[in-house]
Chain A
Amino acid sequence: MHHLLVLPILIPLIAAGAALLAWRQRRMQRWLGLAGAAGLLVVAVLLLISVVNDGILALQIGDWPAPFGITLAADLFSAVMVTVTGLMGAVVMVYSLVSMDPARESFGYYPLLLILLMGVSGAFLTGDLFNLYVWFEVLLIASFVLLVLGGERAQLAGAIKYFTLNLIASALFLSAVGILYSVAGTLNLADLAVQLPRLGQSGLITVLAMLFLVAFGIKAAIFPLFFWLPDSYHTPPLPVTTIFAALLTKVGVYALIRTFTLLFTQDIAYTHTLLLVLAGLTMVTGVLGAVAQMEMRRLLSFHIISQIGYLLLGLGLYTPLALAATLVFMVHVIITKSALFLVSGIVHRLQGTYHLKQLGGLYQSHLGVALLFLLPALSLAGLPPLSGFWAKFALVRAGLEAGQYAITAVGLGVSILTLFSMTKIWTEAFWKPRTVQEPIHVLQGRERLLYFLPALTLVGLTVLLGMLAEPIFTLATAAAQQLIDPSAYIQTVLGGAL
């Protein structure tokens, strides 16, 4: 019995419940939020260590044998994702302490954030497709409320698109789950991986794969289903935007990777080629959208889409190296993109706007902030020796080895455009002399610490990931092996039931 698997779900749940009970005490809620996120991070790290040492873990809830009961399972990929979830939860929680306004805090911001973290952890750990649907709904409901908390007009307008699109995706997901159950008679992921190849109806299974692709694709914001994202993500306060950007689309990508490595591998020539095409279009449209923007948060939101394209590219190539590169890229992009959002929040606090035209002069007045922005920006564009370089290098190499020259060229071209849009922020916000001479807010003492500590942690991590490229790739290669050859996963989950 590996009870460690339950804790990443239980700890945020208990903390959220306690925070709800302390509804009127804002200070208490803050401490509970911090404790819940820190607890999640600690447990996630323990889980990762345990998976690295002992191999894949599985837990049958209620002791029902595998295909009948609810299964929690963690391979290396899941464990890494849960660890990143804990990290982002803790970082954003600290950042929220200082940047979230009291009105939103009083209306349940901390419990909601904890429930969002619980939903994300649950989605990463579940070994059952219907449970994946349930966890999706848990995190969606929390994200809906977080998105509209405060009720500003822009928030509400963005929320309508986000809400409607995600509900349509959920309905499609549920329909696909139902049809899959009628075809295979099971919803346990490991059992499905055993049953689907035996069925031999590859036409029907490809149709199911396409249904899942659309359902997860809406959540992951791939081309052409992404337009809800840049309309909604920049509207809530910055900590909410950051946690959304870090985790929500990645859950969709996680689900895509899980299903398209474990279940839908019968017709790789069709499905994974389609993934490659979608990857190219996602990268290009995302980055072109970003180049056109003049508002920092919108620009960064479009970049989320373009980075999703890279993740899909690795999945579409479907080689061990490509999958390992995808995992490294996923961790890298979660950390650097969040760092960029957090720094743009600091810029907003200092100068009172996100609009590039009105910003300027920060390089002179705040050298530290400028450097904090520059490092993750260069990392995102893929300059050595930062984490983005190694992730992109491995992806490009995997693409060349697989003989997919066109898509690799697209990926490289998009990198240049990424660099271009990052230099645009750099020149507008940091380099050019300041035009408007209004009083600048000065960060001091505790406020200064709480604003800078999360951003510094993430920037430090992106540098560290670049330095430690070799051990990280060793881990990612092991994780990719587990994805390419799921026999160990199946064996662990089903045990003797085969």
Chain B
Amino acid sequence: MEILLAVVIGGLYAAGFYMVMRRSMVKVIIGLVLLGHAANLLIFTVGGLNRGAPALVPAEGAAPVATDPVPQALILTAIVIGFGIQAFALVLFKRVYQAVGSVDLDKIRTPDT
């Protein structure tokens, strides 16, 4: 399972960086979303995968193989932040499209004044 996830995460990072470097604004947004997912999945995987194990250790008795809850709490926070940022990204890029009339990032030059 770890190996499969590692391949998926690597693929997401590669795809994300590739998309961010494209000229189209829409593809840049998709790239940023992919990068966010890759980071979240990375935290999930490196936190340790235990199928069917409880997230918390019972108060009495020996500790069973427990899943560490902290990475999931981290991912939850990161997902919420990611949602907010992506919503802002869509609005920002739409405004840029309205102002410039193109999705080509090379056409959006900062005026050198």
Contact = CB atoms under 8 A, between A and B. Distances in A.
B105 A160 contact: yes
Contacts of A158: 110
Contact of B71 (A137, A156, A181): A181
A160 B96 contact: yes
Nearest to B96: A156
A154 B77 contact: no
Contacts of A182: 46-48
A61 interface: no
Contacts of B43: 174-175, 177-178, 181
Contact of A137 (B25, B81, B92, B112): B81
Interface centre among A171, A177, A355 (most CB of B within 10 A): A171
Given A182-B46, A235-B110, A141 B88 contact: yes
Contacts of B20: 164, 168
B32 A141 contact: no
B100 A153 contact: yes
B15 interface: no
B32 A167 contact: yes
B32 A175 contact: no
Given A141-B88, A160-B108, A174-B39, A355 B113 contact: yes
Contact of A151 (B74, B77, B81, B95): B95
Contacts of A144: 88, 92
Interface residues of A, number: 36
Contacts, number: 100
Interface string B32-74: 1001101110110011100000000000000000000011001
B1 interface: no
Nearest to A154: B111
Nearest to A131: B77
A198 B75 CA distance: 27
Contacts of B28: 164
Given A151-B99, A156-B96, A182-B46, A171 B110 contact: no
Nearest to B91: A148
Contacts of B109: 157
A145 B91 CA distance: 11
A141 B85 contact: yes
A171 B36 contact: yes
A475 interface: no
Instruction: Name A's interface SS.
Output: helix
A157 B110 contact: yes
B77 A130 contact: yes
Contacts of A174: 36, 39-40, 43, 78
Contacts of B113: 154, 295, 354-355
A160 B93 contact: yes
Interface centre among B77, B93, B96, B105 (most CB of A within 10 A): B96
A422 to B, nearest CB: 21
A367 interface: no
Nearest to A137: B81
Contacts of B48: 182
A179 B39 contact: no
Contact of B74 (A137, A161, A171, A181): A181
A163 interface: yes
Contacts of A187: 70
Contacts of A154: 110-111, 113
A133 B77 CA distance: 10
A86 to B, nearest CB: 26
A308 B42 CA distance: 32
A353 to B, nearest CB: 9
B89 interface: yes
A178 B39 contact: yes
A151 B25 CA distance: 17
A232 B78 CA distance: 26
A130 B92 CA distance: 27
Interface in A126-151: 130, 133-134, 137, 141, 144-145, 148, 151
A159 B109 CA distance: 11
Contacts of B95: 148, 151, 156
Nearest to A153: B99
A141 B39 CA distance: 19
A179 to B, nearest CB: 6
Interface string A342-382: 00000000000011000000000000000000000000000
A134 B35 CA distance: 17
B46 A179 contact: yes
Interface string B78-94: 10010011001100110
B92 to A, nearest CB: 6
A75 interface: no
A-B pairs with lowest CB-CB distance, top 3? A178-B43, A182-B46, A171-B35
Interface of A: 130, 133-134, 137, 141, 144-145, 148, 151, 153-154, 156-161, 163-164, 167-168, 171, 174-175, 177-179, 181-182, 187, 231-232, 235, 295, 354-355
16 contacts: A151-B95, A153-B111, A157-B96, A157-B100, A160-B105, A161-B110, A164-B20, A167-B35, A168-B32, A171-B32, A174-B36, A175-B42, A178-B74, A181-B43, A181-B71, A235-B110
